[in-house]
Structure 1
């Protein structure tokens, strides 16, 4: 089998890449297992959720999939409340940036579901086998199928098999932090506000979710410093759940009333992963290209930004250039250099700033937050940056 472009990866980023290329008139094939989706349960929510920025929402709308998402599984984030580890506090509201919402909270499987449906409706060639081996211009699947292409797009996640097989280096720096995710019932309504705490034990975020029969619901993302995070995960399930509830209620100090666990708890280690974004006949997108600290909630937005830049570069190429032309790949890398660097500086910088226990530094960072709270034009800049 041969196609000018083959996208490796059947997750959100891979599906979006293949669909965007096809809608842009490019001949493309997709390689990766096809997920199966159970009917949505109004009382059960997928553990992993994403904060979709206005720019990403517009991109998904341009692919024709945003309106396919069920409205009762979407939650608008109209404001953010950010607490420092002292008296620091910053409030950001959508109206301050003259936008309708700061973000949308969406379950990852709902985005993947509609993208998968759109790819199949569009009639894209989809090989549901797994990647096995790579040679320049050629991929072999685990079933022995050979796929030839002028450009392979690695959209197969942080542990990208294609990236590794293509010999593309990744600079990985563990943070010594474990991220815990789970959903909680909350006693008080969240009112569309995302709340974040920068504490001594790590960064905690509560994201607004759709209400359930039990009342209001939030999704917790808590990046806990090791060994606290690892020790919690290692506990027997019932004890872990009790300890997590107690620790969470103490950390939030009643901001949303009593919080009660309503889902399973998942955890994963965090690291800063950086790559050159390209290789010989290979372009990396999403987590295969970079992995940053999730404290800004911009991982998927950054990954879909990769997709948009790559697709635009390929669509606008000169007629004499093939999709894998080294010049095109360098253009793509240049286009993503500034956005990726900017987000890395923000997330890595904030992590280091709040990881410093020095009393003068702690005083300065909280004073800085209170200063931002008093400067509307700075808030506008923060909101505009986050909405891209």
Structure 2
């Protein structure tokens, strides 16, 4: 079976990529198991949420899916409070960059649900199978490779898009260079009932035992609600995840009372606690007739909340490189893929250095570094121009 473009993977980035390419006139198919996401229940929120940047919001709007999201389940972020492990603090407000919002907090499940609807409405072919491997082509430039599916089918395409996650089978079987370094941290996520309203403010604390973030969510019938993302040392996280549910909630609430310093009053666990390993990953991003996007291409520490935004930036760059190619070039032409790789090199590297650098800086316990990082935060907070640049930089990913 020969296709023009085959997107392997049907997560948020994969479906967005298929839709973006199709809307630019490309012939696209999706290869992934079918996965229907049911409509959300009132006051029950998906455990995984994302901070959608203005650039990502524009892309989703251009794809026709932003307006399909239920507005009552979206929480705009109008400010951020970032606290160091001493007296360092940075306050960011949307008005400092003449913006209405810094970001929007949206559930993973809701984005997936509307993307699935949009892909089907647009008539994009969806092959209910899975990429299990890739065989190299025998042409002079090793193009024209073949994807082998779980069902044993062999599929050819001008361009294969690897959107099949951090453990990408397409990337591994194609031998695309990939480096991974574990942070030896676990990301813990759950939703919390808060005693005080969050007022559209995202809160973050850099602590000796990891980074804690509380993200605004829409109020429930009980009252204010926030989503917790706590990158915690593996041993501490595993001990917490291994506790019985009641004991676990009590211990987490005790730790939150200390870590959040009463900023939102009493915090109560309202959903199950989930954990996922954290690592720093970077792949070459392209291979012969292959482009990687999202987690298949890179992963960064979640302390900046930019992982999905980087993936959607990949989608934007790849769809533009493919749709603007010369008419005599195939979608997977080596020059087209080099253009995509160049377009993403700087933003991915910048985010990689920023997140990894912050993790290293706040992970170091030497007294001079502790003083330096908190002094740096105070310096940034005193300079409106620097804060405006921080907001603009985060908005572009």
What TM-score, normalized to structure 1? Answer: 0.99
Identify which range, 314-323 or 238-247, moves more after superposition: 238-247
Query: 1:14 maps to which residue?
Result: 14
Post-superposition Cα deviations, 1:253-298, rounded to whole Å, max 9, x if no partner, equal: 1100000000000001100001110111111000000000000000
Query: 1:305 maps to which residue?
Result: 313
Counterpart CA distance in 1 for 2:382 and 2:278 is 33
Q: Is 1:372 aligned with 2:380? A: yes
Query: 2:180 maps to which residue?
Result: 172
Query: 2:298 maps to which residue?
Result: 290
Query: 2:194 maps to which residue?
Result: 186
Query: 1:330 maps to which residue?
Result: 338
Identify which range, 241-250 or 215-224, moves more after superposition: 241-250
Query: 2:140 maps to which residue?
Result: none
Query: 2:142 maps to which residue?
Result: none
How many positions carry a matched residue from both structures? 388
**Contact 2:38–2:113 under 8 Å retained in 1:** no
Where 2:347 maps in the other structure, the secondary structure is helix
Query: 1:151 maps to which residue?
Result: 159
**Contact 2:214–2:227 under 8 Å retained in 1:** yes
Q: Note the C-alpha offset of 1:134.
A: 1.5
Counterpart CA distance in 2 for 1:230 and 1:347 is 23
Post-superposition Cα deviations, 1:71-128, rounded to whole Å, max 9, x if no partner, equal: 1110000000000000111100000010110000000011111111010000011101
Counterpart CA distance in 1 for 2:234 and 2:86 is 22
What TM-score, normalized to structure 2? Answer: 0.96
Query: 2:347 maps to which residue?
Result: 339
Where 2:211 maps in the other structure, the secondary structure is strand
Counterpart CA distance in 2 for 1:169 and 1:311 is 23
Within 5 Å, which residues of 2 pair with 1:102-251?
Answer: 102-136=102-136, 137-251=145-259
Report the RMSD for the aligned CA atoms in angstroms: 0.9
Query: 2:66 maps to which residue?
Result: 66
**Contact 2:364–2:370 under 8 Å retained in 1:** yes
Counterpart CA distance in 1 for 2:274 and 2:165 is 18
Identify which range, 138-147 or 16-25, moves more after superposition: 138-147
Counterpart CA distance in 2 for 1:364 and 1:142 is 53
Q: Is 1:279 aligned with 2:275? A: no
Query: 2:141 maps to which residue?
Result: none
Counterpart CA distance in 2 for 1:143 and 1:156 is 17
Q: Note the C-alpha offset of 1:236.
A: 2.7
Query: 2:139 maps to which residue?
Result: none
Counterpart CA distance in 1 for 2:133 and 2:259 is 47
Counterpart CA distance in 2 for 1:382 and 1:175 is 25
Counterpart CA distance in 2 for 1:364 and 1:149 is 53
Of 348, 358, 378, the match for 1:350: 358
Counterpart CA distance in 2 for 1:226 and 1:265 is 15
Q: Note the C-alpha offset of 1:161.
A: 1.1
Query: 2:33 maps to which residue?
Result: 33
Post-superposition Cα deviations, 1:153-185, rounded to whole Å, max 9, x if no partner, equal: 000111111111111121000011111000000
Q: Note the C-alpha offset of 1:380.
A: 0.4
Where 2:86 maps in the other structure, the secondary structure is coil
Q: Note the C-alpha offset of 1:5.
A: 0.7
Where 2:3 maps in the other structure, the secondary structure is coil
Counterpart CA distance in 1 for 2:10 and 2:225 is 30
Where 2:218 maps in the other structure, the secondary structure is strand
Where 1:211 maps in the other structure, the secondary structure is coil
Q: Note the C-alpha offset of 1:145.
A: 2.4
Post-superposition Cα deviations, 1:233-262, rounded to whole Å, max 9, x if no partner, equal: 222332222211111111111100000000
Q: Note the C-alpha offset of 1:224.
A: 0.6
Post-superposition Cα deviations, 1:323-352, rounded to whole Å, max 9, x if no partner, equal: 111111111111110000000111000000
Counterpart CA distance in 1 for 2:37 and 2:167 is 24
Counterpart CA distance in 2 for 1:20 and 1:367 is 44
Counterpart CA distance in 2 for 1:38 and 1:150 is 34
**Contact 2:81–2:90 under 8 Å retained in 1:** yes
